[in-house]
Amino acid sequence: MIALDATHDPARRSWVETANDPASDFPIQNLPFGRFRPAGSAQPWRIGAAIGDQVLDLRLAREQGGWGRVASAWLEPLAEGELAPFMALGAGARRGLRAVLAMALGEGSERRAALQACLVPQAAVEYALPCRIGDYTDFYTGIHHATAVRKLFRPDNPLLPNYPWVPIGYHGRASSIVVDGTPVRRPLGQLKGPDDAVPRLAPTQRLDHELELGFLIGTGNAQGEPIAIGEAEAHWFGTVLLNDWSARDVQAWEYQPLGPFLSKNFATTISPWVVTPEALAPFRVPFERAADQPQPLPYLDSPANRAGGAFDIVLEVGLQTAAMREAGVPHQRLMQSNFRDSYWTIAQLITHHTIGGCNLGSGDLLGSGTQSGPGAGQGGSLLELSEGGRKPITLANGETRTFLLDGDSIELRAHCARPGARRIGFGRCEGHVLAAVMPA
């Protein structure tokens, strides 16, 4: 577990004035990492830290000098425009650099004059994936999503018997992971209705989103050497928002017996800013299972995980139609849930993934699964919110939706807030839908 220190002090302020706005996602207590360059340019990608509405260019910052030998070594891979080599240095380097940057960006810092010229407005940049994602596994930790989906299709058997025991997951497709703002093309796939004699190739008519978090691995493990539950969080570098786009009608026809394939592999969108475990430390909460639920097997259990392995992260989904965008109307919030309701913790996912000997590597991505809430209207997908398409959602402008139409945009947001801590956010994870292209 990460101890709170001076970097978490809610009274700490930055000389970057916009970071002191209570509504900012990126106060000095956050300092997430991302990969950026000036918008519309062909300049090399570079690594930055978000502070207020600015990005601190870490290549330019390192060139200013004055960091000391150790901090300069931490900044070196970041100055080359690559996050993965820094991720592989481990938690000590990440925590050390956080402390150094917090000092340099703090109110009254002697580094202000040198670093002022290293700031770039976020409004003037474009983003890439924060690192090369070597592999991608998507879990199914949202028990309220799992229960709701099973009730829609198998009301007499809402959960499979292995669900309370095993962190269910499947291997996804890393090549189609894209960053916030990248358009998503409506996919083609085989569709077969209940009255169709044979399937047909067609664009999906039931395009959906899934509200998830993604966890990037920092340091990996050797093949055949599992990561124990007490060591798992040391391998976790940071967290992003993740939209696991889904073609529900393609999924219904293809998923048996081996699970989703084309219904999931066409696109996964993540947010550009990687929020570190240190930034999330004030928002830990106990991991608890109801007394009538099976308790985790010993390899997935530890006193530390029970005491603070879960996190209080508020999650939201917004929808903007083409008509709303043309009228200048922002995304309308569809739902809100909380990651503290996840059935498994981050540490448990890492441990279970490796228990059979699988080797994780720097930059690997683990998806949480859809994070629905327990209440009505807290579904993390349109499949749940529209009850399988049977109950259209009416938007404020009178439009209705069961599933996504061309021109629609989905935006994920998240933040952490509690008394005695500074509110932090994750930025935006947005993608809008383009029309399908049929083969010639």
Catalytic machinery residues: 145
60 contacts 41 by C-beta, under 8 angstroms: no
Measured CA to CA, the distance from residue 234 to residue 95 in angstroms comes to 11
Catalogue the long-range contacts made by 200-204 (C-beta closer than 8 Å, 24 or more residues apart).
Answer: 203/435, 203/436, 203/438, 204/247, 204/248, 204/249, 204/250, 204/263, 204/436
3-state secondary structure of 60: helix
Cα dihedral: 39, 42, 47, 48 (round 10): -30
Peptide bond into 257 cis (omega under 30): yes
At 289, list the tokens.
């299972």
Q: Give which of 70, 115, 122 is closest to 93, Cα–Cα.
A: 70
Q: How far lies 361's CA from each of 80, 164, 200, 300, 365, in Å? A: 20, 27, 39, 21, 9
Residue the block writes with tokens 């809402």: 158
At 427, list the tokens.
């930025």
Q: Are strands 119-121 and 54-57 parallel, antiparallel or unpaired?
A: antiparallel
Q: Give which of 268, 238, 211 is closest to 412, Cα–Cα.
A: 211
3-state secondary structure of 116: helix
Q: Give which of 347, 349, 337, 276 is closest to 312, Cα–Cα.
A: 337
210 contacts 368 by C-beta, under 8 angstroms: no
Measured CA to CA, the distance from residue 435 to residue 203 in angstroms comes to 9
User: Residue 116, class by beta-carbon neighbours within 10 Å (0-12 exposed, 13-18 middle, 19+ buried)?
Assistant: exposed
426 contacts 271 by C-beta, under 8 angstroms: yes
Sign of CA dihedral 85, 135, 215, 309: negative
Measured CA to CA, the distance from residue 273 to residue 299 in angstroms comes to 32
Q: What is the phi/psi pair of residue 189, to 5°?
A: -175, 175
